[in-house]
A and B are shown apart, each in its own frame.
Chain A
Amino acid sequence: MLNFLLRRLLSSLIVLFFAVSLTFLLTRLLPGGPFDREKGGSEKVEQALLEKYQLNGTLWQQYTSYLHDLARLDLRVSTKYRDWTVAEILAQKMPSSLKLGGIAFVIASTLGVVLGCLAAMRKDTPVDWAAMVGAIVAISIPSFITGPFLVAVFALWLRWLPVGGWGGVTHLILPALCLSAPYVAYVARLMRNSLLDVLKSDFLRTAKAKGLAAPQALVRHALKVAILPVVTYLGPLAAHLLTGSMIVESVFNISGAGSVFVNAIQNRDAFLLCGAVVIYCSLLIVFNFIVDLLYSVLDKRIRLYA
C-alpha cells in the first residue's frame, strides 16, 4: 500500500510537471505578448513590465525561474489583473464552479447509473429505447442550445425559476441540469452496456441456477462488477465538471472558473493559465486516485500497483 502511494505520487508529479511545462512554453511561444495592448506602448515600458513580471531573458530562463517559484507553491501574479495574485483569482472564481460542478456530478452519476440499470434490466422494451434515444439526444444537443431553451421555457414562459445569477437553491437548478445532461447520458449508456455484458457472464448464470431471483442477483452480484467502467469514467468527469463550464456560466450569468482558461489564453496571461492547469491536473490526479481505491474496494481481485 505504501509502495503504491509513493509510486502514484511520483507519476502524478510527472504528469503535473509536463502539463504545466507544456502550457507555459506554448503560451510564451504564441504570437503576441501579455503587454501588447499597453497604453503608449513603447519598447521601454514593455521591457520594464516584462522585467517586473520576470518574463525577460530567454525562454529557458523564464521557464526555470517560474518552475522555481512553482516548486515553492507560489503561483505568481496575474499579468492581466495586476493587483491580484493567481491564487487570489482562483480562490475567488472556484467556489461557485465547485458548487455547481459538484451538484452536476451528483446528478450525472446517480441519475446515469439508475437510468442505465433500468435500461439494461428492461432490455429491448420501450423503457430501454426511450432511455437510449434520450441519451443520444442529450449527447447531441450542445449546452448553448439547451441552456437558452431551458431559460425560455422555465424562466421566461412558466416563470418558475430565475433567469440567471447566483444565490439561492433555485438559481442552481437550471444550470446544474444543463451542465449534467450530456454526462447523465454518457454514464447511462456506459452503465447499460457494462451491465448487459456482466448479466451474460457465467458467474451470474451460476447464481441464478442456485436460485437467486433476478433483481436480487442483479444488485448483489452484477452491479458490483458492472459499475467498474462507470467509476473509471467518473474520475476525469469530476475534474472536468468541478473546473467549471464557460458556456453554462455565461448563459446563466455566473461568475465562475469556466472562463479563466479562455480569457487567460486571450490575454496571454501565462501565470493565470498555468495556475488553472495546476488546479485542473490536481483534481484529475486526486479523482483518478480515488477511482483506483474504489476499484480495489469493489473488486477484491484487483491489487493496487501503479
Chain B
Amino acid sequence: MPDAPKSPALTRPDGWSIVQRNRPAMISLIFLVAVVLIAFTAPFFLPEALKSTSGGAFLPPLSKGAEAAVTHFCGTDKNGQDLFYRLLTGAQVSLGVGIVGAIISLIIGTLYGMISGYCGGRVDALMMRAVDMLYAVPRILFIMIFIAAFDSVFKDWLDALRLWAQDCQWLWLEGAARYLIPYSKILVMILSLGLVEWLTMARIIRGQVLVLRELTFVMASRAMGQGGWAILTKHLLPNLSTIILTYLTLTIPAVILDESFLSFLGLGIEDPAASWGSLLKDGAQVINPIESKWWLLAFPAALMSLSLLALNFLGDGLRDAFDPKSVD
C-alpha cells in the first residue's frame, strides 16, 4: 500500500480514505450531488412557458413548442407539459420523499435499536420479538394502511384550515391551503414510508450497541455515575454515526423504490405533483407497439435507474469502508 498512513498506531486506513479511493462510489457521489443541485435550482431558470400545460401534447424530444417559442428537450406528455420540467420536479419529490422518509425511519430505528441493545435482557428480547412479528406482516400492508389513515386526515386538516381562513378573510392563507391540498399526498407518503422502513435499521443498530456497551469506556462512564441516556447519546451515538450514515444511504433507495412502486400503481403521488414513479405510470399508459412514445418511458426510467444505482454504489462503498464486518 503506497499511500498508507504515516502513524504506526493506525493498522488500517480510516474509512474516508477508503471511500475516496473507491472510484464508483466517488463518481456516484458527484452524480448525486449534481442531480440534487439541478433538480432544486434549474426549475427557477426555466422559462415560465415550459411549466404549464400547453396544446402541444406528445411532442417528441427536441421539438419546438406549439404556442411559445420554447424547445422541449425531452418532449411533452399527454397534457402538453414539458417532460424535462416534470422530470426535475419529479426528482424533487422522489428524492425529497426518499431522504426525509429515510431520515424518519432512521430516527425511529436508531432509537429503538439503541434502547433495545442497551437495556438487554427481557426488554431486548421483547423488543426484538416485536420486530420479528412486524417482519411477518407484509410491508406493503402497513404502508397502505398508513397512507389510507393519513390521507383523509391531512386533507381534512387542510380543508378545515382553508375554511377557517375563508371565515377570517385571510385570502393568502386560503389560497395557500387550496394550493397545498393536491400536494398533501407527498407528506402522507413521507410519513407512511418513514414509519415502515425502520425495522432493518433497528436490528443493525441493536447489534452494534450490544458490542459497544461491553467496551471499557462505557463501563468507565457508568462507574463515574453517568446515566443510561447520557451514555447512549454521548458515547454510543458518536460511535454509531458512520454505521447510521451508511445505512441511511442504503435506506434512501429503498424508500424511493417503495414510493415509485406505489405511485406506479396509482396509490402514491398524484397529479399535479409528479414523482419518478408517477411519470413512469403515465409513460406506461400510453405505450403501444404502433405509435411509440418512447421518451415518456425512457427518460424517467433512465434518470431513476441511474440515481438508484448511484445511491447503491455509494452505500456499498460506505459499508465496505465503515462496517467492521465487511473489512478484510
Are A144 and B284 interface neighbours, CB within 8 A?
yes
Indicate if A66 sits at the interface (CB-CB under 8 A): no
By DSSP majority rule, is chain A's interface helix, strand, loop, or mixed? helix
Are B140 and A261 interface neighbours, CB within 8 A?
yes
Indicate if B305 sits at the interface (CB-CB under 8 A): yes
By DSSP majority rule, is chain B's interface helix, strand, loop, or mixed? helix
Pick from A30, A156, A247: contact of B148, CB under 8 Å: A30
Are A277 and B141 interface neighbours, CB within 8 A?
yes
- Please tell me which stretch of A18-26, A68-76, A164-172 contacts chain B, meaning at least 4 of its Cβ atoms lie within 8 angstroms of it: A18-26
A22-B137 contact, Cβ under 8 Å, with A32-B148, A140-B305, A142-B261: yes
Are A140 and B138 interface neighbours, CB within 8 A?
no
Are A262 and B267 interface neighbours, CB within 8 A?
yes
Indicate if B34 sits at the interface (CB-CB under 8 A): no
Closest-by-CB residue of A relative to B280 is A144
Indicate if B318 sits at the interface (CB-CB under 8 A): no
Pick from A22, A27, A262: contact of B140, CB under 8 Å: A262
Closest-by-CB residue of A relative to B289 is A156
Chain A 15-50 near chain B by CB (<8 Å), digits 1 or 0: 100110011001101111000000000000000000
Contacts of B145 in A (CB 8 A): 26-27, 30, 265
Complex Cα spacing A284 to B289, Å: 40
Indicate if B308 sits at the interface (CB-CB under 8 A): yes
Pick from A30, A193, A200: contact of B326, CB under 8 Å: A193
Pick from A140, A144, A196: contact of B264, CB under 8 Å: A144
Indicate if B133 sits at the interface (CB-CB under 8 A): yes
Are B137 and A196 interface neighbours, CB within 8 A?
no
Complex Cα spacing A141 to B326, Å: 24
Indicate if B92 sits at the interface (CB-CB under 8 A): no
Complex Cα spacing A261 to B153, Å: 23
Contacts of B135 in A (CB 8 A): 236
B13 CB, nearest partner CB in chain A, Å: 18
Chain B contact residues, CB within 8 Å of chain A: 24, 132-133, 135-138, 140-141, 144-145, 148-149, 152-153, 253, 257, 260-261, 264-265, 267, 280, 284, 287, 289, 297, 301, 304-305, 308-309, 311-313, 316, 326, 328
What are 16 sample pairs from A and B whose C-beta atoms fall under 8 A apart? Answer: A15-B136, A31-B149, A32-B148, A32-B152, A140-B308, A142-B308, A236-B135, A243-B138, A247-B265, A261-B141, A262-B267, A265-B148, A273-B141, A280-B138, A281-B136, A281-B137
